[in-house]
C-alpha cells in the first residue's frame, strides 16, 4: 500500500514516462499528425492539483493537455488512439492532442485557443452552483493565457458571483519563446492580477508536488464551500520545446544555465528526495514504475496503431445532431 505522498510520485512518473515514450514515437514515426504540447518537467502541477479533486469535479486545460488529462484519470489508451487519429480516440480522431476529453474521469475538455477554458470553467462552476451541487470546476492554463482579455473578464465574473472555480496557472515563464519580461510589467504577477479582480490567490512552488497538493486542497475546499474562486500561480518550467517532441535548448531564447537549473529541480527527483526518509526504497520504486509505465504506454501505442481510422463516410458526423443538420 503506497502512502499518499508516494502515490503522487508514482502519478508523476507515469505522466513523465508516457510523455517521454510518446515523444520518441512522435519524432521517429511522424504518424501522430497532431500538434502536441508536452508537459515534461511540469508534472507536479498536474498531479498535485488533480489529486485533491473528486471524480465529479471537472478539470479543463489549455493546449498542454496530456498531463492534466492523465492526472485527472483520463483513459491512456483513448488518448494515445486520439494522437494517432483513430476512431477509438477520446475525441474519435476529430480533436487531436489539443482537444481531449474524458467525461467519466471528469476531464471536461482541453482547448487550443489560449484562455478559452478559463471562461468555460467559470461557466461550469457557475452551473454547479446554480444547480445547488457541491462541485468545483478547475482550469489549467499557462501564464501566457493570463495575458488574454478573457482571463480578466472571467476572473472578474467569478469573483462577483463567488463561482466555485479554481484557476490553475502553470507559470512556465515562456509563451513559446517570449519571456515574462516582454509581456508582464516589472513587479507584477499573475497572482497580483487575480487579486486585483477580487480573486483569492496564492503563489506556490509548482515543482513541489506536496506543496501544490496542499495549496490545491485549501483552494478546492474554499471554492466548494461557496467562499469564492481561488487562483494558484504555480511556478514551473517546460523542458522541451513549446510544441513537438524536441528540445529547443539551442534556440537562444533561454540560457543553458537556466534550463539546467530547472532540470536539476526536477519535480520527481525533488519529491523522491523528500520521502526518502520515510520510504527508503523510493528510488527502486521509481525505477520499477518507469519500467511498468513504459510497458503500459508501448502496449497502448501498439493497440492504437492496430485500430482503424475513422471511416471517411463519417466526416460530417457530429457537426450537428442528425435531426438538426
Residue among 3, 103, 188, 255 that touches another protein (CB under 8 A): 103
127 binds another protein (CB under 8 A): yes
Retrieve residue 31's grid coordinates. 504518424
4 binds another protein (CB under 8 A): no
Q: Site for another protein (CB under 8 A): how many residues?
A: 45
Helix, strand or coil, per DSSP, at residue 234: strand
Examine residue 270 and tell whether it contacts another protein (CB under 8 A). no
Judged by beta carbon, residue 123 or residue 192, the one nearer another protein is 123
Q: Output the 3-class SS for 99-137.
A: CCCECCCCEEEECCCCCHHHHHHHHHHHHHHHCCCCCCE
In this structure, are residues 235 and 206 in contact, taking their beta carbons and an 8 Å threshold? yes
Please report, as residue ranges, which positions from 75 to 94 form the binding site for another protein (by CB under 8 A): 89-94
Q: Which of 20, 73, 123, 274 binds another protein (CB under 8 A)?
A: 123
Q: Is residue 54 a contact point for another protein (CB under 8 A)?
A: no
Query: Which string of DSSP letters, residue by residue, matches 267-312?
Result: HHHHHHHHHTTT-TTHHHHHHHHHHHHHHHHHHHHHHHHHSPPPPG
Residue 116 sits in the site that holds another protein (CB under 8 A): yes
Distance CA 138, CA 152 (A): 16
**Residue 200 DSSP symbol:** E
Asked if 70 touches another protein (CB under 8 A), the answer is: no
Q: Interface residues with another protein (CB under 8 A)?
A: 58, 60, 89-95, 99, 101, 103, 108-109, 111, 113, 116, 118-128, 130-131, 137, 149-150, 153-154, 156-157, 160, 317-321, 324-325
Amino acid at each position: 500500500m503506497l502512502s499518499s505522498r508516494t502515490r503522487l510520485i508514482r502519478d508523476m512518473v507515469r505522466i513523465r514516462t508516457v510523455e517521454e515514450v510518446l515523444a520518441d514515437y512522435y519524432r521517429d514515426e511522424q504518424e501522430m499528425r497532431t500538434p502536441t504540447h508536452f508537459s515534461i518537467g511540469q508534472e507536479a502541477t498536474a498531479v498535485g492539483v488533480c489529486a485533491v479533486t473528486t471524480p465529479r469535479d471537472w478539470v479543463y486545460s489549455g493546449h498542454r493537455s496530456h498531463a492534466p488529462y492523465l492526472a485527472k484519470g483520463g483513459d491512456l489508451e483513448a488518448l494515445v488512439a486520439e494522437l494517432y487519429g483513430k476512431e477509438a480516440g477520446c475525441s474519435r480522431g476529430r480533436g487531436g492532442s489539443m482537444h481531449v476529453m474524458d467525461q467519466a474521469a471528469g476531464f471536461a475538455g482541453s482547448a487550443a485557443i489560449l484562455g478559452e477554458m478559463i471562461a468555460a470553467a467559470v461557466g461550469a462552476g457557475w452551473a454547479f452552483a446554480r444547480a445547488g451541487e457541491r462541485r468545483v470546476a478547475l482550469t489549467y492554463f499557462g501564464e501566457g493565457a493570463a495575458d488574454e482579455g478573457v482571463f480578466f473578464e472571467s476572473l472578474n465574473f467569478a469573483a462577483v458571483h463567488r463561482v466555485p472555480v479554481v484557476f490553475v496557472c502553470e507559470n512556465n515563464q515562456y509563451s513559446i519563446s517570449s519571456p515574462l519580461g516582454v509581456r508582464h510589467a516589472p513587479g507584477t504577477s499573475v497572482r497580483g492580477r487575480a487579486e486585483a479582480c477580487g480573486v483569492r490567490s496564492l503563489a506556490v512552488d509548482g515543482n513541489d508536488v506536496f506543496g501544490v497538493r496542499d495549496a490545491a486542497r485549501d483552494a478546492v475546499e474554499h471554492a466548494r464551500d461557496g467562499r469564492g474562486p481561488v487562483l494558484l500561480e504555480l511556478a514551473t518550467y517546460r523542458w522541451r520545446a513549446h510544441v513537438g517532441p524536441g528540445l529547443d535548448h539551442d534556440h537562444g531564447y533561454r540560457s543553458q544555465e537556466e534550463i539546467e537549473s530547472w532540470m536539476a529541480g526536477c519535480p520527481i527527483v525533488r519529491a523522491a528526495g523528500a520521502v526518502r526518509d520515510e520510504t527508503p526504497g523510493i528510488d527502486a520504486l521509481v525505477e520499477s514504475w518507469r519500467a511498468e509505465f513504459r510497458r503500459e504506454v508501448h502496449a497502448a501505442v501498439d493497440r492504437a496503431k492496430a485500430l482503424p481510422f475513422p471511416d471517411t463516410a463519417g466526416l460530417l458526423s457530429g457537426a450537428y445532431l442528425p435531426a438538426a443538420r
